[in-house]
A and B are shown apart, each in its own frame.
Chain A
Amino acid sequence: QVRLVESGGGVVQPGRSLRLSCAASGFTFSSYAMHWVRQAPGKGLEWVAVIWYDGSKKYYADSVKGRFTISRDNSKNTLYLQMNSLRAEDTAVYYCARQNHDYGNAFDIWGQGTMVTVSS
């Protein structure tokens, strides 16, 4: 069964750090680009970051550039998002998603999401 499971969310103070993980199973993780997408409470979806299948390229939304780092460990089938200098506006549910070139590069598989709350 193809699956993505996020973990690592929680409540953190402004300025602190948090690392999210996304464990993949049921497919060849190393063959796919992976994304992080977030959704603030009551708001729409916001794309956050992408990493190429081999980790060779990474791109970020302007809102997180310089503070967040996306990475992956293909030997562990795991995607990461290191979040530093967190702000209140980073409060959101964070989803990892698989980009599938066989589906027009759509995000065809999503995790259940992990909640990050930035508050003092």
Chain B
Amino acid sequence: QSVLTQSPSVSGAPGQRVTISCTGSSSNIGAGYDVNWYQQVPGTAPKVLIYGNNNRPSGVPDRLSGSKSGTSASLAITGLQAEDEADYYCQSYDSSLSLWVFGGGTKLTVL
């Protein structure tokens, strides 16, 4: 069981908006540690999409956005495209475990 909880799957039609949630606790997200989001296309290495809760690296489209509130964080994708179909992971730091943690991952299916 992951320290950060994500829904196993989410789906949406092209052009729609989807959100992927990541629930933590008072020792990680709730303690103020940043949340980062990664996209992984099967068979390839993960790629950072959002860092520091809501910042996009250059090259990541602005239809992707991140937010954080309390002990949870979310990744929103608007204008869904076929190329968005992938696995998405949240990541943070946990002070009680003194280690870096990932969510269990959410598989996004574009219908």
A residues with a Cβ closer than 8 A to B are 35, 37, 44-47, 50, 59-61, 95, 97, 103-108, 110-113
Contact = CB atoms under 8 A, between A and B. Distances in A.
Interface string B86-111: 01010101000011111111000000
Nearest to B6: A44
Q: Dominant SS at the A interface? A: strand
A3 B104 CA distance: 26
A102 to B, nearest CB: 9
Given A103-B52, A107-B36, A107-B46, A47 B98 contact: no
A59, A95, A105, A113: residue with the most chain B Cβ atoms closer than 10 Å: A105
28 contacts: A35-B100, A44-B2, A44-B87, A44-B104, A45-B40, A45-B46, A45-B105, A47-B101, A47-B102, A59-B98, A61-B99, A97-B46, A103-B36, A103-B48, A103-B52, A104-B34, A104-B51, A104-B53, A105-B34, A106-B34, A106-B36, A106-B91, A107-B36, A107-B48, A108-B48, A108-B51, A112-B45, A113-B45
Contacts of A35: 100
B100 to A, nearest CB: 4
Contact of B47 (A44, A50, A61, A110): A110
A79 to B, nearest CB: 15
Contacts of B101: 47
Interface of B: 2, 34, 36, 38, 40, 44-48, 51-53, 55, 57, 87, 89, 91, 93, 98-105
A10 to B, nearest CB: 19
A44, A95, A110: residue with the most chain B Cβ atoms closer than 10 Å: A44
Contact of B51 (A61, A97, A103): A103
Contact of B102 (A46, A60, A112): A46
Given A45-B89, A47-B102, A50-B100, A95 B57 contact: no
B51 A106 contact: yes
A106 B47 CA distance: 10
